[in-house]
Chain A
């Protein structure tokens, strides 16, 4: 079945460091891929998405490219800020199952 695997956390970085959170997926067909972010005490919110191979999603300095050949959708940001501290979830849209499948989440701590 469809699944998402993302790197375990927590990830701790200093402000202005480069961020990569790895995400790989298993799916039939061509699902859309998403990154969601959850700030403390809140629900999830969409950070970015890509709907087909080689698409690059971007938002707030974050980027991720849909790589079908490596079944990956790694999240990157060139310079993180303290305000980026949150839990990040990689996800894929399981159209046939009418649901979104989430990875386990990666907690990011950014130190000033």
Chain B
């Protein structure tokens, strides 16, 4: 079974631009989460989607948004980029079961550099 894929793997943008990152979950996984990883802040939760609905959002400004499609693929968008948005953006998918607390399967990440 193919793992979680993220595209692109690397991005270089300039301040003020916007960017869209894509994530394809493992087949059959309907929950997709996004995290921002930086050396100073560690792993910070951005948002989680299930069946095209955002169920939770982390403490990030409105410039960060996302969506999920009917095939469970997800995108996140960052508008008006700032230098501080430079980070590794990780997508994770999981199988949702009645008991919850399911492990997450991570993609390799998209490395965003804002100049």
Contacts and interface: CB of A to CB of B under 8 A. Distances in A.
Contacts of A99: 33, 45, 48, 56, 58
A103 B43 CA distance: 8
Interface in B21-72: 31, 33, 35, 42-43, 45, 48, 50, 55-56, 58
Contact of B48 (A44, A46, A51, A98): A98
Contacts of B56: 97-99
A95 B33 contact: no
A20 to B, nearest CB: 21
Interface residues of A, number: 24
Nearest to B35: A102
Contacts, number: 58
Interface residues on B, range: 20 to 34
Given A43-B109, A99-B48, A99-B56, A105 B43 contact: yes
A98 B100 CA distance: 8
A100 interface: yes
Interface in A68-100: 89, 93, 95, 97-100
Contacts of B55: 98
Contacts of A36: 106
Interface of B: 4, 31, 33, 35, 42-43, 45, 48, 50, 55-56, 58, 90, 92, 99-109
18 contacts: A31-B101, A32-B101, A42-B108, A43-B90, A43-B92, A43-B106, A44-B90, A44-B106, A46-B103, A49-B103, A51-B101, A93-B100, A93-B101, A98-B48, A98-B56, A100-B92, A100-B104, A102-B35
